[in-house]
Amino acid sequence: MADLADTLNLEARSGLPEDLRWLAEKYPREDWQAHQNVHGMASMWLQRHAMFRELGAMLSDGIGNYREGRLDARSFANWFAPRLNYFLGNLDGHHNVEDHHYFPVFAKVEQRLKRGFEILDADHHLIHDALERNAETANAFLKALAESEDRQRFAADAYADENARLVAMLSRHLDDEEDLIIPLILDRGDRALGID
Ligand SMILES: [Fe+2]
Ligand SMILES: [Fe+2]
Protein backbone atom coordinates (compact mmCIF):
# COMPACT_ATOMS: atom_id res chain seq x y z
CA MET A 1 0.00 0.00 0.00
CA ALA A 2 1.37 3.43 -0.95
CA ASP A 3 2.07 5.93 1.82
CA LEU A 4 -0.45 8.73 1.79
CA ALA A 5 -0.06 12.26 3.09
CA ASP A 6 -2.03 12.64 6.35
CA THR A 7 -4.29 15.18 4.68
CA LEU A 8 -5.50 12.45 2.30
CA ASN A 9 -6.46 10.11 5.11
CA LEU A 10 -10.08 9.03 4.84
CA GLU A 11 -11.03 10.58 8.17
CA ALA A 12 -9.17 13.84 7.52
CA ARG A 13 -9.98 14.84 3.95
CA SER A 14 -13.09 16.55 2.63
CA GLY A 15 -12.92 15.29 -0.96
CA LEU A 16 -10.53 14.27 -3.71
CA PRO A 17 -7.44 16.49 -4.01
CA GLU A 18 -7.65 19.19 -6.71
CA ASP A 19 -5.18 17.49 -9.08
CA LEU A 20 -7.44 14.45 -9.32
CA ARG A 21 -10.61 16.39 -10.05
CA TRP A 22 -10.15 17.37 -13.71
CA LEU A 23 -12.45 14.62 -15.02
CA ALA A 24 -14.97 15.23 -12.22
CA GLU A 25 -15.08 18.87 -13.27
CA LYS A 26 -15.68 17.90 -16.89
CA TYR A 27 -18.51 15.55 -15.83
CA PRO A 28 -20.31 17.10 -12.82
CA ARG A 29 -22.44 14.82 -10.67
CA GLU A 30 -25.72 16.47 -11.66
CA ASP A 31 -25.13 15.51 -15.33
CA TRP A 32 -24.29 11.84 -14.78
CA GLN A 33 -27.76 10.35 -15.16
CA ALA A 34 -28.31 12.06 -18.53
CA HIS A 35 -25.07 10.76 -20.07
CA GLN A 36 -25.38 7.89 -22.55
CA ASN A 37 -22.46 5.98 -21.00
CA VAL A 38 -24.14 5.85 -17.59
CA HIS A 39 -26.06 2.70 -18.55
CA GLY A 40 -24.06 -0.38 -17.64
CA MET A 41 -21.13 -0.30 -15.26
CA ALA A 42 -21.63 3.25 -13.97
CA SER A 43 -25.28 2.65 -13.05
CA MET A 44 -24.47 -0.64 -11.43
CA TRP A 45 -21.77 1.02 -9.35
CA LEU A 46 -24.04 3.88 -8.28
CA GLN A 47 -26.84 1.49 -7.33
CA ARG A 48 -24.52 -0.64 -5.24
CA HIS A 49 -23.25 2.47 -3.44
CA ALA A 50 -26.81 3.71 -2.89
CA MET A 51 -27.58 0.38 -1.23
CA PHE A 52 -24.61 0.72 1.14
CA ARG A 53 -25.62 4.27 2.06
CA GLU A 54 -29.17 3.11 2.70
CA LEU A 55 -28.11 0.14 4.83
CA GLY A 56 -25.71 2.29 6.85
CA ALA A 57 -28.46 4.81 7.55
CA MET A 58 -30.91 2.00 8.40
CA LEU A 59 -28.52 0.52 10.99
CA SER A 60 -27.93 3.96 12.53
CA ASP A 61 -31.70 4.56 12.74
CA GLY A 62 -32.24 1.11 14.23
CA ILE A 63 -29.71 1.61 16.99
CA GLY A 64 -31.24 5.05 17.66
CA ASN A 65 -34.69 3.46 18.05
CA TYR A 66 -33.35 0.93 20.51
CA ARG A 67 -31.44 3.50 22.58
CA GLU A 68 -34.48 5.71 22.79
CA GLY A 69 -36.58 2.78 23.98
CA ARG A 70 -38.79 2.40 20.88
CA LEU A 71 -37.61 -1.21 20.48
CA ASP A 72 -36.89 -3.71 23.25
CA ALA A 73 -33.49 -5.39 23.30
CA ARG A 74 -34.65 -8.76 21.95
CA SER A 75 -36.67 -7.37 19.01
CA PHE A 76 -33.82 -5.04 18.22
CA ALA A 77 -31.29 -7.90 18.16
CA ASN A 78 -33.53 -9.95 15.83
CA TRP A 79 -33.90 -7.04 13.48
CA PHE A 80 -30.31 -5.93 13.70
CA ALA A 81 -28.13 -9.07 13.40
CA PRO A 82 -29.08 -10.22 9.87
CA ARG A 83 -28.93 -6.68 8.47
CA LEU A 84 -25.54 -6.04 10.02
CA ASN A 85 -24.16 -9.32 8.64
CA TYR A 86 -25.46 -8.51 5.19
CA PHE A 87 -23.97 -5.02 5.33
CA LEU A 88 -20.53 -6.09 6.57
CA GLY A 89 -20.25 -9.08 4.22
CA ASN A 90 -21.37 -7.27 1.09
CA LEU A 91 -19.18 -4.27 1.75
CA ASP A 92 -16.11 -6.42 2.17
CA GLY A 93 -16.96 -8.35 -1.01
CA HIS A 94 -17.50 -5.11 -2.94
CA HIS A 95 -14.09 -3.78 -1.90
CA ASN A 96 -12.37 -7.02 -2.87
CA VAL A 97 -13.78 -6.85 -6.39
CA GLU A 98 -12.74 -3.21 -6.69
CA ASP A 99 -9.20 -3.83 -5.42
CA HIS A 100 -8.49 -6.93 -7.46
CA HIS A 101 -10.50 -6.44 -10.59
CA TYR A 102 -11.54 -2.88 -11.39
CA PHE A 103 -8.96 -0.55 -9.85
CA PRO A 104 -5.93 -2.14 -11.59
CA VAL A 105 -7.73 -1.90 -14.96
CA PHE A 106 -8.78 1.74 -14.44
CA ALA A 107 -5.38 2.83 -13.12
CA LYS A 108 -3.73 1.33 -16.20
CA VAL A 109 -6.14 2.97 -18.64
CA GLU A 110 -5.72 6.42 -17.04
CA GLN A 111 -2.30 6.73 -15.39
CA ARG A 112 -3.01 10.32 -14.36
CA LEU A 113 -5.63 9.00 -11.92
CA LYS A 114 -3.36 6.28 -10.52
CA ARG A 115 -2.84 8.12 -7.23
CA GLY A 116 -6.60 8.33 -6.84
CA PHE A 117 -6.82 4.55 -6.89
CA GLU A 118 -4.06 4.37 -4.29
CA ILE A 119 -6.13 6.68 -2.07
CA LEU A 120 -9.21 4.47 -2.53
CA ASP A 121 -7.18 1.36 -1.84
CA ALA A 122 -5.87 2.90 1.40
CA ASP A 123 -9.49 3.76 2.31
CA HIS A 124 -10.46 0.11 1.87
CA HIS A 125 -7.85 -0.94 4.43
CA LEU A 126 -9.14 1.60 6.96
CA ILE A 127 -12.75 0.61 6.29
CA HIS A 128 -11.83 -3.05 6.64
CA ASP A 129 -10.44 -2.37 10.14
CA ALA A 130 -13.56 -0.36 10.95
CA LEU A 131 -15.75 -3.28 9.79
CA GLU A 132 -13.90 -5.58 12.17
CA ARG A 133 -14.36 -3.17 15.07
CA ASN A 134 -17.99 -2.84 14.07
CA ALA A 135 -18.49 -6.63 14.16
CA GLU A 136 -16.68 -6.88 17.51
CA THR A 137 -18.69 -4.16 19.23
CA ALA A 138 -21.89 -5.55 17.70
CA ASN A 139 -21.15 -9.02 19.09
CA ALA A 140 -20.33 -7.55 22.50
CA PHE A 141 -23.65 -5.74 22.40
CA LEU A 142 -25.61 -8.85 21.39
CA LYS A 143 -23.95 -10.77 24.24
CA ALA A 144 -24.73 -7.97 26.69
CA LEU A 145 -28.45 -8.45 25.99
CA ALA A 146 -28.32 -11.39 28.42
CA GLU A 147 -26.76 -9.16 31.08
CA SER A 148 -27.81 -6.19 33.21
CA GLU A 149 -29.55 -3.12 31.82
CA ASP A 150 -26.42 -1.11 32.55
CA ARG A 151 -24.18 -3.46 30.60
CA GLN A 152 -26.61 -3.33 27.70
CA ARG A 153 -26.60 0.47 27.61
CA PHE A 154 -22.84 0.60 27.81
CA ALA A 155 -22.40 -1.90 24.97
CA ALA A 156 -25.07 -0.17 22.85
CA ASP A 157 -23.24 3.16 23.24
CA ALA A 158 -19.94 1.57 22.25
CA TYR A 159 -21.52 0.04 19.16
CA ALA A 160 -23.33 3.24 18.20
CA ASP A 161 -20.01 5.14 18.31
CA GLU A 162 -18.27 2.61 16.09
CA ASN A 163 -21.17 2.56 13.69
CA ALA A 164 -21.31 6.35 13.42
CA ARG A 165 -17.59 6.38 12.66
CA LEU A 166 -17.92 3.66 10.01
CA VAL A 167 -20.87 5.37 8.34
CA ALA A 168 -18.94 8.67 8.18
CA MET A 169 -15.88 6.94 6.68
CA LEU A 170 -18.02 5.11 4.19
CA SER A 171 -19.88 8.19 3.12
CA ARG A 172 -16.63 10.06 2.34
CA HIS A 173 -15.20 7.03 0.52
CA LEU A 174 -18.27 6.38 -1.63
CA ASP A 175 -18.49 10.03 -2.73
CA ASP A 176 -14.81 10.25 -3.62
CA GLU A 177 -14.79 6.91 -5.38
CA GLU A 178 -17.74 7.98 -7.49
CA ASP A 179 -16.05 11.30 -8.32
CA LEU A 180 -13.01 9.41 -9.57
CA ILE A 181 -14.62 6.49 -11.37
CA ILE A 182 -17.96 7.63 -12.78
CA PRO A 183 -16.43 10.49 -14.86
CA LEU A 184 -13.83 8.04 -16.19
CA ILE A 185 -16.49 5.54 -17.25
CA LEU A 186 -18.60 8.30 -18.84
CA ASP A 187 -15.56 9.67 -20.68
CA ARG A 188 -14.39 6.35 -22.13
CA GLY A 189 -17.38 4.02 -22.07
CA ASP A 190 -17.50 0.46 -20.71
CA ARG A 191 -16.10 -1.11 -23.85
CA ALA A 192 -12.95 1.03 -24.07
CA LEU A 193 -12.28 0.32 -20.40
CA GLY A 194 -12.56 -3.40 -21.10
CA ILE A 195 -15.32 -3.94 -18.54
CA ASP A 196 -18.44 -4.47 -20.68
FE1 LIG B 1 -14.48 1.34 -2.63
FE1 LIG C 1 -17.30 1.10 -4.24
- CA 173 / ligand 2 centre spacing (Å): 8
DSSP alpha helix (H) spans, the chain:
22-26, 41-67, 73-97, 103-109, 114-144, 149-188, 190-193
Instruction: Give the pLDDT mean for 177-192.
Output: 95
Q: Is residue 2 scored above 80 in pLDDT? A: no
Q: In Å, how far are 30, 60, 117 from 191, measured between CA atoms?
A: 23, 39, 20
- CA 78 / ligand 1 centre spacing (Å): 29
Model pLDDT, residue 86: 94
pTM above 0.75, yes or no: yes
Instruction: Give the pLDDT mean for 97-103.
Output: 93
What string of DSSP letters covers 56-112? HHHHHHHHHHHHTTSS-HHHHHHHHHHHHHHHHHHHHHHHHHIIIIIHHHHHHH-GG
Q: Is residue 103 scored above 90 in pLDDT? A: yes
Model pLDDT, residue 84: 92
Render pLDDT for 7-30 as a digit per residue (tens, 0 to 9): 899 999 999 999 999 999 999 999
Query: How far is 170 from 52, CA to CA, in rounded Å?
Result: 8
Model pLDDT, residue 196: 61
Torsion of the alpha carbons at 123, 126, 128 and 131, rounded to the nearest 10: -120
- CA 123 / ligand 1 centre spacing (Å): 7
Q: What percent of the chain has pLDDT over 70?
A: 98
Model pLDDT, residue 151: 92
